Amino acid sequence: MPGTTPPLGGRHVATGHEVLAAVLQVRDGRLRVLAWQRGIAPDEGRWALPGGHLRDDEDVEESVRRQLAEKVDLSDVAHVEQLGVFSAPHRVPDARIVATAFLGLVPSDADPAVPDDTAWQPVDALPPTAFDHAAIVDDALDRLRAKLSYTNIGFALAPAEFTVSALREIYAGALGHPVSATNLQRVLTRRGQLEPTGAVSPPGPAGGRPAALFRFTRRTLRVTDAFAVLRPPGEVGRAVVP
């Protein structure tokens, strides 16, 4: 019949719609994703991405922003974009639930309050995750790393002002490989993404010359080099930031 849902376990069920967010942040030099530990079946004890059911009076982006603000005190995510729709019939046991997944990015200097059952998990060492949430994290990671090559999306991971050395650590953490501070500054400056603030960072415990502070020229997403690729040092091919 038109409008019905394919049977699950020999019966027809109503289709639900949820929104989920893979929220990424570089913390302590390591890229992490926000997750909470499920306390009920199915997949009790596994780690899940924040989100929930879509309301009748909101679109999917409104829904994900509301739920991040309500559940994990993330009211000011620097960047949100839709990743895709996850609709495998059995992605959630004994239910027919379609998920619209988003990528969210939080600056490295933000430290939002989160509940006791919620933590920033390293993307390169995820604990057991609920349902298909690990696949969503993988998609989010691929999207971020690709866009770090050809857009200015680094603004969403960085503080408002930063030293080049600190920005290098953020890019290295997000990309998962070393990055040259000199080359990073050269490339981003040539693309018109960085500008000096005219200020310097406070001196460290060891003293020394204060480092200049920079900022991104724009804090909204734009394509800066459609054909650029950031590759690890020594990899064959065009490595914009070796």
Residue 232: what pLDDT?
73
- Whether residue 24 is found in the same domain as residue 110: yes
Whether residue 84 contacts residue 139, with contact meaning beta carbons closer than 8 Å, is answered with yes
Residue ending a domain, choose from 147, 180, 196: 147
pLDDT along the chain (242 residues), means of 10: 46 80 96 96 95 95 91 81 96 94 96 91 97 98 96 97 97 96 94 96 76 96 86 56 45
Structure tokens at 157: 């991971």
Domain for residue 156, yes or no?
Answer: yes
**SS3 call for 138:** helix
What is the pTM for the complete model shown? 0.89
Domain for residue 131, yes or no?
Answer: yes
- Whether residue 142 is found in the same domain as residue 159: no
Residue 219: what pLDDT?
94
Write the CATH number for 33: 3.90.79.10
| CA 73, chain centre distance (Å) | 16
Can you name the residues that pair with 119 across neighbouring β-strands? 35
Structure tokens at 22: 């893979």
**SS3 call for 3:** coil
Domain count, the chain: 2
Domain for residue 59, yes or no?
Answer: yes
- Whether residue 21 is found in the same domain as residue 122: yes
* Phi/psi at 167 (5° precision): -65, -40
Domain for residue 168, yes or no?
Answer: yes
Domain for residue 223, yes or no?
Answer: no
Domain containing 201 equals 151-216
Give which of 105, 32, 12 is closest to 64, Cα–Cα: 105
- Whether residue 95 is found in the same domain as residue 41: yes
